[in-house]
Chain A
Amino acid sequence: MRALLIRHVQVFFYSLGQLWRTPWGSLMSVAVIAVSLTLPTALYLVLELTDEISGNWQTGAEITLFLTDEVDDKAAVQLADRLRQQPGIRSVSYVSAAAALEEFRQKSGFGVALDLLDQNPLPSLLRLQPDPDQAAPTQINQLIEQFQALAEVDTAEFDHAWVQRLHAMVAIGQRLALIASLLLGVGVVLIIGNTIRLAIFNRRDEIEISKLIGATDAFIRRPFLYSGLQQGALGGLLALVLVYASLGLLAPVADRLAGFYQSGFTLQIMGWVELLLLPIIGGALGLFGAWLAVGRHLRDIEPG
């Protein structure tokens, strides 16, 4: 058991040494792997970000219930109390027609024009804030329908179309990122498979001789598997650097965007777990690619 462990450590450093001895070839395949891993990662991070921003907007969003003229202050407050009890609603505030007029007067700058009116044209209204946990588009839609059905409510409004559009776009983007990840993952497997295939053919004599003097398949396979694992993991590490660099370029622009929307987000750099994830995924893909190549080509090399 200990001997096997020592062998594994030896082979690990041996195949690392092989990579070092052929720096250009190794660098090329590591770089290609890095790019293949960087693209979906960056895409994924940008989508995360978009989702987060749209999430912020969504939680900031309000449902406005315009009440009918028959509803007086007392009834409106009662309705507000009732709605407050309902699940999915975080807060309800009542704005009387007079208050609404005052607000409009201040914000619109139409004060003089309003004074000409002998009657307040504005309805009284309730402002509802949905619970952020339950603010998915379908849930919001349900709430709207429900409120619309109330006798006191003239119209229930939620400026949600664009949020929904954004959500849909993010969903498409996520799907695309997934597809891109899968395709590029297959790419990584093929790249490493091919590199290992070439390595196997370059060391044909060595493999044949090793088999002649009693090497087991596991023994012959091991350095190639380690080589695939190492190339993949190094590619993952390089991808990490590239992702950081891209985010660095993106951060100032994203901060400006955040400024426009008074949103509190900053570009989230990945946490430790995600940091490790890239080399691990790279290593796993590399190992898989090497395993495919080794299974396919080692059998062909038999002493004869």
Chain B
Amino acid sequence: MIRFSEVYKRYPGGGEALKNVGFRLAPGEMSFLTGHSGAGKSTLLKLITAIERPTRGQVWIGGENISKIKSRKVPFLRRRIGVIFQDHKLLYDRTVFDNVALPLVVAGLNHGEVRRRVRAALDKVGLLKKERVYPVALSGGEQQRVGIARAVAGKPPLLLADEPTGNLDPALSLEIMNLFAEFNRVGVAVLIASHDLELIQRLGYRQMVLDHGELVAGGEPL
């Protein structure tokens, strides 16, 4: 699903964010990405969604080399990846339903299909009753679940999460992680960047550890 080969990323005027990173994530696999703050977790996720391009090396997503992907192809790459953010990135002037519907509307689905899929996604995260509510009226955990529903609504084969439990208490964090595990069980590949080591140990999935831009554990050197 994801393949990194000798990937380097240097920001202009900054140090090397990633150094010689190589790993594979198989279709349907779930894995955690850990490391201290500034170790390069976010950069790695940005390379996957083509927010950033690698300075050197190759990145493949679903068999497509995106190292030098053209800007006009980026939207179609992103439709195949569901992304969850620490700060949810919800639109606060739209209802829960409209937030979840956004990727489907963007992809040009017809009205009936949008409605059906939004309902299904909200049902999976347990928020079907709140579809008409605005996100401000929801708790942090609920907002994060709206974010997850939005990410899965388009049925992408890959989910990325950047510190999805960063602001949540341990019980809620576990709930969110279990939600990811559920999606993984139906065949979705999941990559979660997190530094909640205790929780990660308990769940027992593969761990990749970044240290100062280098993948020091859990990678499969290619």
- Which chain A residues have a beta carbon within 8 Å of chain B's beta carbons? 3-4, 6-7, 205-206, 208-217, 219, 302-304
Contact = CB atoms under 8 A, between A and B. Distances in A.
B72 A213 contact: no
B166 interface: no
8 tightest Cβ-Cβ pairs between the two chains A and B: A214-B79, A214-B78, A213-B103, A215-B106, A214-B75, A216-B75, A209-B89, A303-B51
Given A209-B91, A302-B51, A214 B108 contact: no
Given A214-B79, A216-B72, 8 more contacts: A206-B91, A208-B89, A209-B102, A213-B103, A214-B77, A216-B106, A219-B75, A219-B106
Interface string B132-156: 0000000000000000001000100
Contact of B107 (A6, A209, A214): A214
Contacts of B176: none
A214 B106 contact: yes
B79 A213 contact: yes
A214 B76 contact: yes
B67 interface: no
A3 B108 contact: yes
Contacts of A213: 78-79, 83, 102-103, 106, 150, 154
Nearest to A213: B103
Given A210-B102, A213-B106, A214-B106, A205 B150 contact: no
A291 to B, nearest CB: 18
A210 B83 contact: no
9 contacts: A3-B110, A205-B89, A211-B75, A212-B51, A212-B83, A214-B78, A214-B107, A216-B75, A304-B46
Interface in B82-117: 83, 89, 91, 102-103, 106-108, 110
B182 to A, nearest CB: 21
B124 to A, nearest CB: 18
Contacts of B150: 213
A182 to B, nearest CB: 35
Contact of B49 (A4, A212, A219): A212
A63 B77 CA distance: 81
Contacts of B78: 211-214
A154 to B, nearest CB: 82
A205 B99 CA distance: 13
Contacts of A219: 75, 106
A4 B51 CA distance: 27
